[in-house]
Amino acid sequence: MTFDLFDALPTDPDAAPAAEPLAPGAVVLRGFAREAGPALLGAVGEVSAGSPFRHLVTPGGLRMSVAMTNCGERGWVSDRTGYRYDGVDPDSGRPWPPMPEPFRQLARDAAAAAGYADFRPDACLINRYLPGTRLSLHQDRDELDLRAPIVSVSLGLPATFLWGGLRRADGPARVRLAHGDVVVWGGPSRLVFHGIAPLAAGDHPLTGAERINLTFRKTR
C-alpha cells in the first residue's frame, strides 16, 4: 500500500526553508538549496566537462536509464563485476574531478540542519534525469561507514521521491520534491529503500527538461 505526502508541501515559494520530518533520522529541508541553485548547476557543468555523464550497466547487464557522473575522492560505479566506489573514472582512467567547494559546504550545512554535525562527504554522485527516467527502490549500502548520513539535493524539474522501509516489500510513501529541496537521512533510516518515480515532462528555467540530483556520501 502506498500513500501520498503532497498535502504537506509549502504553498508560498518565497517562504523560509522548512524542515519536514520524514522518519526517525530523516528530514526534508524544503528550499534549502534554492538560492545556491545557479552556482550548484554551474559546478555540475564543470564536473561533467571533466567526467561526462554516462549510462552505467548493472551487474545483470541492464543499462541504467539515469545518466550519471561523480566528483570527489571516490565515485560510485557499476558494471558486470558489481557495484563499488573507485577513485578513478573508468571512462578516462583519471581521478574524478575534485568536489567543488559549494557542493561540500551545502552538504555540510544541510546535514547540520538535519542534526548530523561534522558531515564530511568524500563522494558526490550526480544524476541527470530526463522525462520518463526513474530510479528503482534501492538501499545505499556500498559505503564502509554507515554512521554518516546521506544528503540528496534536488535541482530543476520536480520529482516524486519514493520513501520505503527497511524491506524492499514495504510500500513507499510518495514525496514531492521541488527545485532546491534537500533530503537528509541517517541513523535508524540510513538503510531505508528509496527511489524516484518516472520523471514527468516539464520545463524548468534553470535546467530545461532535466532534473539534476546531487547525492553526498561518506564512503569510508
Annotated binding site for 2-oxoglutarate, which residues? Answer: 127-129, 211-217
Distance CA 216, CA 171 (A): 25
Is the separation of the CB atoms in 71 and 126 below 8 Å? yes
To 5 degrees, how large is the angle CA 124–CA 126–CA 130?
165
Binding residue ranges = 76, 83-85, 127-129, 138, 140, 142, 168, 194, 211-217
Is the separation of the CB atoms in 166 and 192 below 8 Å? yes
Provide the 3-class DSSP secondary structure of residue 165. Answer: coil
* Amino acid identity at 199: L
Binding residue ranges for substrate = 76, 83-85, 142, 168
Binding residue ranges for Fe cation = 138, 140, 194
